[in-house]
Structure 1
């Protein structure tokens, strides 16, 4: 099979569901997938934000976009999300498990059970459930791509993000497990994302981050659009022999 650069990244006729799709990396990927031809399901807890992003997608790309309110940490919400997507489009070809959270805490012994469970729920339990639901349907339909958005924190844990790092390390393990569970029809990969400048980064100590970024090969944080190319690769036929992979997009952190 010859590689056709004109069609390999074309997602025309496909449907992509992106959690955490109304802001940050998720919003950038929603727009990128739509520009490549996909209809999109924009999911997050804030329905108004989802509607705004969906309207922008339809205006800018001409693709159909479905906004859905869903809390990734609640399995009932995920069941309803999948039902809504299939009711509207009849299929999901690309699932991007992007929603995540890493709340601040003062000390490790001050981490409450509620906070710990919330971090695990959104970053690990929810992606497991959604990948299980959608992956089963994808396999029955003959194919699809699951993309988990992991974190460099899973590979470089720090005390201030310990629960988050553990959850993302678990997501890395699930990525490989699902690749084998749903192969050969369905591919499952993870983008191990580094530090990106999103709305969340507005609260960072800019001087402290600048000092930390000096240790990156690129010596800076990423822009949300800089994750889109990797997402398109994994969503499309360009990555037809890539599964169970953890692809690092972190500017060369160490």
Structure 2
């Protein structure tokens, strides 16, 4: 899809690694100027330099902590002041720290996980989504998880927050219609630096439970994200799209 996003501006949270990095690279390859936002500014800066060098687009690094309401405001203000517009927002920043059982989860853990996975996407979507409506068009893409559909105890707070992100997706698809489309991608098990630390039995279970017989990779999300970001999906909104190798295949 080379050139398909020329003249567009895309903001990607959690854009310095994993799925977010792959999507940011895909958008830059398609001609979009990109905002790379994540907690570690130096990582964002390194990605931004590389994307500009390799694809000739403008890439802006921004430090961003999704659990902080004011950081979402600051990121939105930065995008709009630097570019004057935002055509695509990808809410990808997320976290799911391991814990020693649901009984050990404290308020700090709950608030941190909920903040990163739901509060940040909520505030950023409102700020940039409203500007998209004023401009007459745009696309918001939320990165959720298939665990939001069938949560396990080992990721319960994360799954609850992502289920809220699913609700945000559906709700804003009506609120911002017809100008702005809002959809979500729901990853299954994905080969990232986080997955590298999984015990062997967990990795093997992920392989066995997937009809396509492998873990996903960040590159598997570039095509779906590009589709949702462009006019190729102009009649698609309010949709939760499972990108999980068929692991959670179901009729509804």
* 182, 207, 215: which one aligns with 2:209: 215
Q: Show the 5 A alignment for 1:1-254.
A: 10-254=4-248
Contact conserved, 2:86 with 2:128, CA < 8 A, in 1? Answer: yes
Root-mean-square deviation (Å): 1.2
CA distance in 2, matches of 1:225, 1:51: 21
Alpha-carbon deviation of 1:166? 0.6
CA distance in 2, matches of 1:75, 1:140: 22
Q: Partner residue of 1:3?
A: none
Count matched residues: 248
User: Residues 197-216 of structure 1, C-alpha deviation per residue, up to 9 Å, x if partnerless?
Assistant: 11111211134311332021
Q: Which runs of 5+ in 1 are unaligned?
A: 1-5
Give the TM-score of the pair, scaled to structure 1.
0.95
CA distance in 2, matches of 1:237, 1:38: 14
User: Residues 22-62 of structure 1, C-alpha deviation per residue, up to 9 Å, x if partnerless?
Assistant: 00000000000110110000000000000000011001111
Contact conserved, 2:14 with 2:38, CA < 8 A, in 1? Answer: yes
Contact conserved, 2:18 with 2:218, CA < 8 A, in 1? Answer: yes
Contact conserved, 1:148 with 1:190, CA < 8 A, in 2? Answer: yes
CA distance in 2, matches of 1:197, 1:128: 27
Contact conserved, 2:146 with 2:188, CA < 8 A, in 1? Answer: yes
User: Residues 68-114 of structure 1, C-alpha deviation per residue, up to 9 Å, x if partnerless?
Assistant: 00101101111111111111111100000000000111011100100
SS at match of 1:199: coil
Which portions of structure 1, spanning 4 or more consecutive aligned residues, are displaced by more than 3 angstroms?
none
SS at match of 1:43: strand
